[in-house]
Amino acid sequence: MATTSPPPSTTADPADAASGPAGRATAAGPPLPAAPAGRRGLADRLLGDTHALGRRLPQLAVGLSLYGASMALMLRSGLGLDPWDVLHQGLQRTAGLSVGAWVTICGALVLLFWIPLRQLPGLGTVANVLVIGAAMDLTLRVVGEPGPLPARIALMAAAIVLNGLATGLYIGARFGPGPRDGLMTGLHRRTGRSLRLIRTGIELTVLAAGVLLGGTAGVGTVAYALAIGPLAQFFLPWCTVPTPGQTSLKG
């Protein structure tokens, strides 16, 4: 993501006037050292840009936390999970650990596939790995089984809507894609195949593996697949933090 620098101040700072640009000698003294390029590059890679960090950082944290909570609610409904969570649940039932722990482990493993694809993680990528699984496990400790079928259906519907909102929040914070989305876009760039084809292939693969391991697929899996795209598209314009020069993405 390109870095956007703030516009120059219209009020001269006496210190700036005396020292001049970094790295250039002035009459007031020796040249000031510029920031190391490697350090600037790392900051740019993680943050994308420094515009509106006071909103973007909390929005990222809230979005990822709600994403993990929505996944836990889907699991509690017992009506089926999205493909990746079918895999996470299958691994939990087969190998132990918590579902949230497997969310974190799988996210970290997927990041390894970024290396040959030459994908570069952002702050959102790293936070995705660390926050979502922990938020999911915390929610599972707090929320019990809903009981009757109507309550389970309502919980599933609320979870899908919450997941759409969470997706809009964390993507709209503009800190980079999650590990799984980055894998999809990296394969698209390297192979030239369509994003839809690659995403379908990845999700069918993890869904099949999850079912074989004992994960739960059901009506919730289908409902999620049908609803999450339109929901994310609805919430994203309202949640996206505009870049400098933009006023809104809500049309």
Q: Given this model, what pLDDT does residue 29 score?
A: 42
Domain ranges for the chain: 54-239
Q: How many helices (H) and strands (E) does the chain have?
A: 11, 0
Across the range 127-142, mean pLDDT stands at 97
Contacts with 20 (C-beta within 8 Å, 6 or more apart), sequence order: 26, 28, 31, 32
3-state SS assignment for residue 29: strand
- Kindly list the distances between the CA atom of residue 180 and the CA atoms of 25, 26, 56, 155, 171, in Å, as whole numbers in the listed order: 48, 50, 21, 25, 13
pLDDT of residue 14: 36
β-bridge partners, 26 = 29
pLDDT at 46 over 70: no
Q: pLDDT (tens digit, 9 = 90+) per residue, 58-71? A: 999 999 999 999 99
Q: Confidence class of residue 251 from pLDDT cuts 50, 70 and 90?
A: low
pTM over 0.85: no
pLDDT of residue 176 exceeding 70? yes
Amino acid at 8: P
- Report d(CA 225, CA 83) in Å as an integer: 9
Share of the chain above pLDDT 90, in %: 69
Q: Assess contact for 122 and 176: CB atoms under 8 A.
A: yes
